[in-house]
Amino acid sequence: QVQLVQSGTEMKKPGASVKVSCKASGYTFTSYGINWVRQAPGQGLEWMGWISPYNGNTHYAQKFQGSVTLTTDTSTSTAYMDLRSLRSDDTAVYYCARDHGTDEAFDIWGQGTMVTVSS
């Protein structure tokens, strides 16, 4: 079945970086964009950015420009989100989510990766 499986829980110190992976299966990876969305504890959803696995094009929310890098590895059908200079307010669950074609919706979500930033 179509699914996105993310890497496991991370604990990082302030100033460090984290790289979260999102492995796709059950569909043609290069045919759908991948979005990254985060959710701070007890809070709502925040869109971070998007990448096209087809050509590597990216779009980032202004807030994350310069601190987030999205990449893909088409040989393994895996998307990556690299977040640098971590702060305590980056503590959140990070989700990858697939584009629903051109309908500007997110139809398949990964299970989420908890990233905790603490000294």
Partner 1 sequence: DIVMTQTPLSSPVTLGQPASISCRSSQSLVHSDGNTYLSWLQQRPGQPPRLLLYKISNRFSGVPDRFSGSGAGTDFTLKISRVEAEDVGVYYCMQGTQFPQTFGQGTKLEIK
Q: Tokens 């989420």 — which residue?
A: 112
Closer to partner 1 at the Cβ: 54 or 109? 109
Rounded-to-integer distance, Cα 68 and Cα 18, Å = 10
Q: How far is the CB of 79 from partner 1 (least distance, A)?
A: 15
Closer to partner 1 at the Cβ: 75 or 89? 89
Q: Verify binding: residue 112, partner 1, rule CB under 8 A.
A: yes
Residues of this chain that interact with partner 1 (CB under 8 A) are 35, 37, 44-47, 59, 61-62, 95, 97, 100, 103-107, 109-112
